[in-house]
Structure formats: structure tokens, C-alpha cells
Chains A and B, each alone.
Chain A
Amino acid sequence: MSEHVEMTRALGWLALIALLAGLVAGFGYAPREETQGNVQRIMYLHVPSVLTAYLAFGLVLLGSAAYLLTRRAGWDRLAASAAEIGVVFTAITIVSGSIWGRPTWGVWWTWDARLTSTAVLLLVYVGYLLLRAMVDEPETRARYAAVVGIVGAANIPIVHFSVYWWRALHQPAAMLGPGRTPMPASMQMVVLVNWIAFTLLFAYFLSRRLQIARLEESA
């Protein structure tokens, strides 16, 4: 147990250092984007958080399927913890996208394909968490949540395509999407640094959350 705590703490420090490095890189190293100006720097928060959210929801699927197959509570704890963190990162993605969208598109919210499908993703997993909150019996909760986790994950590609086509019918996505031009290497570098930082942060959160879940269960 104490070894686990030590490792978690080390992960936390690592994540902190990486985040600071990402912050310095995002504001100091990354060049100022010509057309959008400093607003573009939101991307260094936006892209890593959405990638982290996808990682989290992938783990929800893994935990859910593995729980139904093995019936071991550890998998359920993994799914539950990853879902909570995934929802947080999805929310960060949407909020940061919205803050970016206000000066860039002139509106806080637009029914852009990616924005909409991310929002639907958030709704699906908030539903997952609500279900967990409303079932008291741990074993039943784990089974039900696993089924919802699997349906939710299977739905992601279907939602993605449907929302994409839905928007494509009305206006070309290129108008709303951030430029199609390839990113300069320096910007890619900063995205990468921040992505690593966010992944470390996710690992730290997950480790902490799993600890809490274990303590809750043994209480």
C-alpha cells in the first residue's frame, strides 16, 4: 500500500513539473500565431485535454468489458475512476474550445461537428456517472455501469459520423475548423509536451481516484 502511495506522489510531482514545462513552452517557446494571435495558445490546453479524455473513455470501455468477463471489483473501480476524470477533461475541452471560439468565430457556442460530438460524449458519460450515483448496491452498480460503459463507447463512432454528416449538409466544416494548413514543428512540439504533461496528470488523478475507491470499498 505504502509503495503505491509513494509512486502516486512521484507521479504527481512529475505531472506538476511537466505541466509547468508545458506552460512555459506554450507561452514562451511557441510562436505567436499570425492570424489568430495569442488566442491560438488555447490549443495547447484544448488538444491535450481531448486526447486525455479519449484515453479515459477507452479505459472505461476496458474496465467495463473486463468487469463483465471477470467480475473482479478492481475493473469496476478502474472504469468508474476513469469515467470521472474523463468527464472533467471533456468539460475542459469544451470550455476551452468555447473560450477560443468566442474571439475566433464570434460566438460562444456553435453547432460545429466536433464541438457537438464532444458535447454528446460529455452527456453520455455524465449519464454514466448519474447511474452510478443512483445505484446503492455495489455489485449491481458495477454490472449496470459496465453495460452503459460499453454502449457509450460503441456509440462514439456512430455519434461522430452522424454529427459530422449532419453538419456537412449545412455548411462546409472547413469554414469552422481551425486551419487545415500543417502546424509548424515548433507548435507540434509544444502540443506534444503538453500532451505528455496531461497524460501524466491523468495517471496521477487515476492513481489517486483508485486509492479513494479502494478505501471506500473497504470502509
Chain B
Amino acid sequence: MLYARRAWIVLWKDLLTERRSKESLNALLFFTLLLLFLFQFALGPDRDRLRAALPGLLWLGLVLAGLLGLGRTFIAERDNDCWEGLRLTPGDKSAIYLGKLLGNFILMVVVEVLLLALFGFFYDVDIGPALGKLSVVLLLGTTGLAAVGTLFAAMTAQLRARELLFPVLLLPAQVPILLATVSATAAALDGQPLAEVSHWLKLLAGADVVYVAIGIMTFEFILDV
């Protein structure tokens, strides 16, 4: 109970500061909009080509947004000298990880909702019929992305080469998530039932469990006790 409350306090603190400063969210939303334009410029005006590349672009956009957004997870603590405060928190440190993870998850989901709407608007894709299936894929994929991202963000927050190391560590670890989500998203947009890609969803779920479990187990070592 106390554990859940600790995680909740971290989450609530992050959501509150984010709501008041809107520092990450505003920049992320603008960034994803920019990406959308860049994809369009890179691939040219051909509608069919864009539509074929859509699942890949969507997830590439989310991963790139994740690199920016997740990488900032512990920046507030570092800049405001609150790292010691985190370290002095009594009890199991993984509660902090869970709180941060949930905060990142919520942040990413907000970005995803907007990105999906923009994709539908700019690229003329009918998201509506696939929405239910897409949200399953999105939630599973986001969990994996946020789980590893939060862990590595805590690690790189204190390092001098943070901007470089965070993607270098996170991207290879995200290969399975990217492969699974892009395949599943393609199937969902194609109108196929989710049962067709159940092996991908199982892989995503399995990967999520593994990543979150490792995060919970190893987070205290990153915080240094």
C-alpha cells in the first residue's frame, strides 16, 4: 500500500509540474507535427507511397518523440538538485521507477493520440475503423518503449554525454518493439483481425513484462544506494 502510494506521489508530482509548466508536452507535440512534415518532404507527394510507409512512419515518429520525451524524465531532478531527495526516499526505490514510468506512459499516450489524429488528417487515412485494434498495439508498444526508456533515462541523466548515450542505448533495445508494432499496425490498418498478428501481440506483451521486471529489479542500482 505504502509502495503504491510512493509511486503515486512521484507520478502526481510529475503530472502536476508538467501541467503547470507544459514544458515537455508542448515541445513534443510541436516536434511530432514537424516530423510529419519532414516525412512528407522526404517521401514526396505520392499518396500511395505515403500510405504504404504509414505504419513505419508512425512508429518512427513515436520512437523519435520518445527519445526526446523519455530522455527528459529525470532532468528536473538533476537541474533542481533533487537527485539526493530521490536517493533518500525510504523504502523500495523501484516505486520511484514505477511512478516515473507511469508518468512517461501517460505523456507518450497523449503524444500518440495527437500523432494519430494528425496522420489521419494530413495523410488521408481512415483511422476510425482500426481505432480499437490500434489502441491495443499502441498501449503494448508504449509500455515497452517507456519501460526501457525510463530506466536508461535515469542512467544517462547524470552523464555528460546524455544526448548521445540515451539513443545509443535505447534504440537497439527497441528493435523488437519496433518490428512488432509496425507489423501489427500495418495489419490493423489493413483491416485484418488482431488474431492474425497475435504472435506479435504476445511478443510485445512478453517483452513488456521482461522490460518492466528488469526495470523494477535494477532501478535501485542506478539510483545508487
Q: From B210, B218, B224, give the contact of A158 (CB < 8 A).
A: B210
Contacts of A148 in B (CB 8 A): 152, 155, 169
Contacts of B155 in A (CB 8 A): 131, 144, 147-148
B173→A155 contact, CB < 8 A: yes
Q: From A144, A151, A158, A166, give the contact of B183 (CB < 8 A).
A: A166
Q: Let me know if A7 is at the binding interface, CB within 8 A.
A: no
Q: Let me know if B28 is at the binding interface, CB within 8 A.
A: no
Contacts of B199 in A (CB 8 A): 165
Q: Let me know if A185 is at the binding interface, CB within 8 A.
A: no
Within A23-71, the residues touching B (CB, 8 Å) are 68
Contacts of B168 in A (CB 8 A): 127, 130-131
Contacts of A144 in B (CB 8 A): 155, 222
Q: Let me know if A20 is at the binding interface, CB within 8 A.
A: no
Return the chain A residue nearest B206 by Cβ.
A158
The complex places the Cα of A11 from the Cα of B181 at a distance, in Å, of 47
Q: Let me know if A215 is at the binding interface, CB within 8 A.
A: no
Count residues on chain B whose CB falls below 8 Å from chain A CBs.
32
Given A151-B214, A158-B206, also A165-B200 (CB < 8 A):
yes
Count residues on chain A whose CB falls below 8 Å from chain B CBs.
28
B175→A163 contact, CB < 8 A: yes
Q: From A150, A152, A163, give the contact of B218 (CB < 8 A).
A: A150
Q: Let me know if A161 is at the binding interface, CB within 8 A.
A: yes
Contacts of B175 in A (CB 8 A): 120, 159, 162-163
Chain A 69-88 near chain B by CB (<8 Å), digits 1 or 0: 00000000000000000000
The complex places the Cα of A140 from the Cα of B176 at a distance, in Å, of 28
Q: From A120, A124, A135, A154, give the contact of B214 (CB < 8 A).
A: A154
Given A130-B165, A131-B169, A150-B214, also A159-B176 (CB < 8 A):
yes
Q: From A134, A146, A155, A158, give the contact of B221 (CB < 8 A).
A: A146
Return the chain B residue nearest A137 by Cβ.
B158
B161→A134 contact, CB < 8 A: yes
A156 smallest CB distance to B (angstroms): 10
Given A147-B222, A165-B200, also A135-B172 (CB < 8 A):
no
> Which residue numbers of A lie inside 8 Å of B, CB to CB?
68, 120, 123-124, 127, 130-131, 134-135, 140, 143-144, 146-148, 150-152, 154-155, 158-159, 161-163, 165-166, 169
Given contacts A123-B171, A140-B224, A147-B151, 12 further A-B contacts (CB under 8 A): A127-B172, A143-B222, A146-B221, A147-B155, A148-B169, A151-B148, A151-B218, A154-B210, A158-B203, A161-B176, A163-B175, A163-B176
